Amino acid sequence: MALIKMSRVKKIYKSGVTAVHELNLEIKKGEFVFVIGSTGCGKSTLIKMLYREEKPTVGSIVLGGIEVSKLRNNKVFKIRRKIGVVFQDFRLLEGATVYENVAFALEIFGLPKAEIHERVIKALDLVGLKNRAKNYPHQLSGGEQQRTAIARAIINDPKLLICDEHTGNLDEETSREIMAVLEEINKMGTTIVMVTHDRDIVKRMKKRVVLMDAGRVIKDFKEGEYQ
């Protein structure tokens, strides 16, 4: 069953640049999909449209049964609750502990403290950071900061986890560790869409690969490699 269905999607920015042309893409529940391509090919625009940072100019985007492209701005939270996003720059709160960074995503929904505690500890345990809960971001390695960002992104049990060049600033060994964490999350049923330039990760993981060029999907490999 499809979790994401993008039909004839086009995105034209106010500058006149067409970032995405007539894009058709379907991603099933539980899939792990790499989106690859050169800089400016439309990868980032594609994922921004998924979590509704951008709206398509034309076309339909359905995520989990909700027509994302037609959501009013004051209803965007409905789709954001279904999605976790991990960015390359981590975007952690420097003055907050690891625990507080992860808990923040639940506190804004007003959940009881006991439930927040249980879910935060579970998420930190999953990413291997249970013993770092009281540390601050500046006391962590780059890999540990990325793990914190992943824990925060999965705290709401999202149907979809989007990773945007999230291993770009990490060394090879740390990247491998992060990918092992993501693979475990995927095995638990979370669909993962990952934008990357890392050829080694794509080659090693043997997952579905969507290759973009000039705003179009030009190849879709079931178990592809970085072409």
* pLDDT (tens digit per residue) in 28-54: 999 999 999 988 899 999 999 998 999
Q: Side chain identity at 2, as an amino acid letter?
A: A
pLDDT of residue 186: 95
pLDDT of residue 40: 86
Pairing mode, strands 32-36 and 208-213? parallel
* pLDDT of 88 higher than 80: no
Rounded Cα–Cα distance for residues 91 and 112 (Å): 25
Q: Give the three-state DSSP class for 59.
A: strand
Q: Which residue has the higher pLDDT, 112 or 81?
A: 112
Task: Read off the pTM.
Answer: 0.90
pLDDT of residue 91: 84
* pLDDT of 99 higher than 60: yes
Residue 135's pLDDT band (cuts 50, 70, 90): very high
With pLDDT > 90 as the criterion, what percentage of the chain qualifies? 63
Rounded Cα–Cα distance for residues 205 and 123 (Å): 23
pLDDT of residue 227: 54
Domain ranges of the chain: 96-157
Residue 224's pLDDT band (cuts 50, 70, 90): low
Q: Side chain identity at 162, as an amino acid letter?
A: I
